[in-house]
Chain A
Amino acid sequence: DGGITQSPKYLFRKEGQNVTLSCEQNLNHDAMYWYRQDPGQGLRLIYYSQIVNDFQKGDIAEGYSVSREKKESFPLTVTSAQKNPTAFYLCASKIPGSTRGYTFGSGTRLTVV
């Protein structure tokens, strides 16, 4: 079955360490997105990519980096520059220009201690 895989489900890191969250899709979607979710704040867009080797900053890109070397993969690195990295991270994908069809992964809960 097609879908988005985010791994791991739970991730723990020490403060000051970079950490990379995985997002893989087999839907053949060109566009991919990373969102951050904090309690009471809904989802906020971190980065998005509409095509391989291209990506744009979202509303809260500071302290994060991404790459898009393959259509299927859009990993997110939470760097030590991110002041408050503990959050729930969701990856999504869709067909560009489609008015519907956003598909979400099941998320990664990152805890920095």
Chain B
Amino acid sequence: AQKITQTQPGMFVQEKEAVTLDCTYDTSDPSYGLFWYKQPSSGEMIFLIYQGSYDQQNATEGRYSLNFQKARKSANLVISASQLGDSAMYFCAMKTYNTDKLIFGTGTRLQVFP
């Protein structure tokens, strides 16, 4: 069965510091993609970053980077130089290439304080 696990219900970080949000996944499919989404209090899901299972390099998008450790089945999100506007729910998600379904973890609530 495919599963995404986010073990941190909540995280606090001071402004301008870096923070790592954990995500582990489970799948027997060798071809898959991993996503991170941000959900502010308004409710919309904002795409942050994507990592394919065959990508050689860790993905980066501005202040977001994905620490992809395939052998450990982990895909942690690193946010550098946190900003107050980063306070939100963050979801890790996975899609395998033999299905068209995106599976989500339970999310981590990040709070950035001054």
Contact = CB atoms under 8 A, between A and B. Distances in A.
Contact of A40 (B43, B103, B106): B106
A105 interface: yes
Nearest to A49: B100
Nearest to A104: B45
A104 B9 CA distance: 23
B44 A42 contact: no
A35 B6 CA distance: 19
B42 interface: yes
A21 interface: no
Interface in B26-71: 33, 35, 37, 42-45, 47, 50, 52
B106 A48 contact: no
A48 B100 contact: yes
Interface string A41-57: 11111001010000000
Interface in B46-100: 47, 50, 52, 91, 93, 95, 97, 100
Contact of B107 (A35, A42, A45): A42
A84 interface: no
B104 interface: yes
Interface of A: 31, 33, 35, 40-45, 48, 50, 58, 88, 90, 92, 96, 99-100, 102-107, 109
Q: Which 3 A-B pairs have the closest CB atoms?
A: A104-B45, A107-B43, A43-B104
15 contacts: A33-B102, A35-B104, A40-B106, A42-B4, A42-B91, A50-B100, A58-B101, A88-B43, A90-B45, A99-B52, A103-B47, A105-B44, A106-B42, A106-B44, A109-B43
